Amino acid sequence: MSKRQDAIIFDGDDTLWQNQIFYEQAKEQFYKLMENQGFDRKAVTSKLSEIDVSNVQRFGFSRRRFPESLKETYEYFCRNQGRPVDPAILKQVYRIGNSVFHRKPVLMDGAQQVLEQLSKEYRLYLYTGGDPYIQRRKLKYLKLAKYFEAIYIRERKNEAELQDILHEQNLDPKKTWMIGNSLRSDINPALKLGLKCIWVRSSCWEYDTELPITSDILQVNSLQELPKIIKGIQS
């Protein structure tokens, strides 16, 4: 098998390392803060989800989105009940929102071993969403950059962005895999471009909720399943 011809594009957050768990912990802190202010937890949960998904259009996956979504949710309920926005509470809201960016990243089980194994036979690329500084800091901490021939960090992930990567790296879609946990950001765009895809069933958030464009899709619950599946299909 030729490394020149066969490539694998990996997503980062919640594919190679944990991410969503930190957001869920921050949301829990926010819900408790809002409850202490007399707001209904169920209503807050629903409104935050609505605002945060909507804010992807404004902020993409940048670090501004989540803290701003918490702020707008707090302000919405203050307006709804005719209450003034408390600067002290707002400060706590921002602290909670920004806390997710200061957590030490944790690798998914088997991630490093899988990358080590696959990098010997395939050209590996990273295509992940988020703030470039934050994502590169994760890569440096986790010592993963050495496995990839190129790293792409985007504030928005879509079909056009993925197409640009294929073009820049001269990748043949029929000989390229996309590995990711998000149907909306990773799998469906790749399927539309003709890539072979494996959906990693791990944590995701409301924005990622989307049906696969085909029922004929490979799924794994662990990265450790990847080498055997890929080699089995390629052989």
39-71, pLDDT tens digit by residue? 999 999 999 999 999 999 999 888 999 999 999
Is pLDDT of 217 > 90?
Answer: no
Calpha distance 87→112 (Å, rounded): 44
pLDDT band at 5 (very low <50, low <70, confident <90, very high): low
97-131, pLDDT tens digit by residue? 999 999 999 999 999 999 999 999 999 999 999 99
Mean pLDDT of 201-206: 78
Q: Whole-angstrom Cα distance, residue 176 to residue 16?
A: 18
Task: Look at residue 12 and tell me whether its pLDDT is greater than 60.
Answer: yes
pLDDT value of residue 2: 47
The string of pLDDT tens digits covering residues 153-200 is: 998 899 999 999 999 999 999 999 999 999 999 999 999 999 999 999
CATH number for the 7-18+105-234 domain, one of 1.10.510.10, 3.40.50.300, 3.40.50.1000, 3.40.190.10?
3.40.50.1000
Please say whether the beta carbons of 5 and 121 come within 8 A. Answer: no
Mean pLDDT score across all residues of the chain? 93
Q: What percent of the chain clears pLDDT 90, i.e. is strictly above it?
A: 86
User: Tell me, what's the pLDDT at 234?
Assistant: 60
Comma-separated ranges of CATH 3.40.50.1000 domains in the chain: 7-18+105-234
How confident is the model at residue 3, as a pLDDT?
Answer: 52
**201-234 burial, b for 16+ CB within 10 Å, e for fewer?**
ebebbebbeeeeeeeeebebeebebbbeebeeee
At residue 1, the pLDDT reads 42
Q: What is the pLDDT of residue 227?
A: 93
Q: For the domain with range 21-102, which CATH number is right: 3.40.920.10, 3.20.10.10, 1.10.150.240, 3.90.380.10? A: 1.10.150.240
